[in-house]
Structure 1
Amino acid sequence: MLQVLREWLIGICTAVFFITAVEIILPDNSLKKYAKFVLGLILITVFINPLIKVFDRNFDINTYTSNAIQSLDAKKTENEFQKYKEKNIKDTLEVFKLNLQTNCEKKLKEKYPDSNYKVQVDASYDDNNDKLVIKDIKVGVKDGSIERIKKIKIGDDSKTVDNGDKEINNEKSQAIKKYLGDELNVSKDVIQVYKI
């Protein structure tokens, strides 16, 4: 018991010496009050540590502090990983859509060189299967004729734009749907062909 008391007093003296040295070194500014607060917590910990050991022999403030820090770090790491994963999925999805649009336009131009094409892709990420899913492909077909003027509503609070594009359903549109469906391994139902 005398050994425990001796260690406790040495710990208190060491802590007080350390706190005094730090307070002397710190400049007089707003940081000093925060430093005094932290140093006070250290001193309280040094005082309370032997009292807690009386009630719980297995208690060690260092182990407790280490476990608390690891728990906080684990939660922080998990949150940062989740944010990184969401950003990565979003970026990957945008690049996937852009590449798919460009690739479809190029393939359609090679297969059907008599027209120009504008492709828009809507895709999403499926968490359950961990893969990208193509939800919708809109193919705008422009033959050699002059482009139609698009109707725009001005002064409407809803601010909608009616581009007047109508889905076409002829032999060429069916061929485009079949070609893209086979190339991309998707259902023809997600492919819409419009005249622009």
Structure 2
Amino acid sequence: MIESLRQWLVGICTAVFFITAIEMLLPDNSMKKYCKFVLGLILITVFINPLIKIFNKDFDINSYTAKAIESFEENTKSEKSLKDFNEYKEKSKADTIEAFESNLKLSCEKNLKEKYPDGNYKVTIKADYDEESNIVYVKNVNVEIQKGSVEKVKKVDVSGKTTSVSNFNEESNEQCNKIKNYLSKELNVSEDVIHVNS
């Protein structure tokens, strides 16, 4: 009994020492309160472990923890979990690309308006995700320069069964080249992926 009490007190002292050391090393940010919560749970576990053993002699927190981890690993290996994970990953990837395109579009339009205030700019961004390097990159940037308040009418081909609107017809003029060069430097992409139509 005295040996058990001694082990319990040594366990509490060790836990308190460990928790104090960790709290001293934690930076002052929003994560600190969560870390303190987890450390508090550890301390509570150290306190109640001997009390539980009084009522249940076979209780061992380590075996319960090992069983919980093993159960979690079995669940994550299952087909359904893998399918759910892949679906979540794809949705997350698509959402990230969409947010990236939207934010970059707004940023480009704002920067172009500040740099070249004489025109209105409509920017379309196409981005993609590179699995190997784990980054989102710019595939294509289309800039439409709108002079005045009315948009230029695009050519429409109605000769066949389907009606199609022509894509960007790039004009080679000085302003288009300046915009290409400017965006290439701003976005750190090749001028080949930037198309300017005025």
Does the pair score TM above 0.5?
yes
Counterparts of residues 33-182 of structure 1 (less than 5 Å): 70=74, 74-144=78-148, 146-154=150-158, 156-162=160-166, 165-182=168-185
Q: Residues 144 and 131 (structure 1 numbering): CA distance in 2 closer, same or farther, change over 3 Å?
A: same
SS at match of 2:145: strand
What stretches of structure 1 of length at least 5 have no aligned partner? Answer: 1-65
1:187 aligns with 2:170: no
Letter of the 2:123 partner, please give it. Answer: V
Give, in whole Å, the separation in 1 of the partners of 2:187 and 2:76.
45
Deviations 1:131-183 (A, max 9, x none): 112111010012237533333345843332236x5212111111111111111
SS at match of 1:121: strand
Give, in whole Å, the separation in 2 of the partners of 1:184 and 1:71.
43
Give, in whole Å, the separation in 2 of the partners of 1:72 and 1:166.
51
CA contact (8 A) 2:75 2:81 kept: no
Question: How does the TM-score come out when normalised to structure 2?
Answer: 0.57
Give, in whole Å, the separation in 1 of the partners of 2:74 and 2:136.
35
Give, in whole Å, the separation in 1 of the partners of 2:193 and 2:96.
21
Deviations 1:49-90 (A, max 9, x none): xxxxxxxxxxxxxxxxx99x9368632212111110000000
* CA RMSD in angstroms, aligned pairs only: 2.6
Q: Residues 145 and 170 (structure 1 numbering): CA distance in 2 closer, same or farther, change over 3 Å?
A: farther
Q: Residues 72 and 182 (structure 1 numbering): CA distance in 2 closer, same or farther, change over 3 Å?
A: closer
Give, in whole Å, the separation in 2 of the partners of 1:72 and 1:172.
55
Give, in whole Å, the separation in 2 of the partners of 1:182 and 1:105.
15
Question: How does the TM-score come out when normalised to structure 1?
Answer: 0.58
Between structure 1 and structure 2, the one with the greater Rg is 1
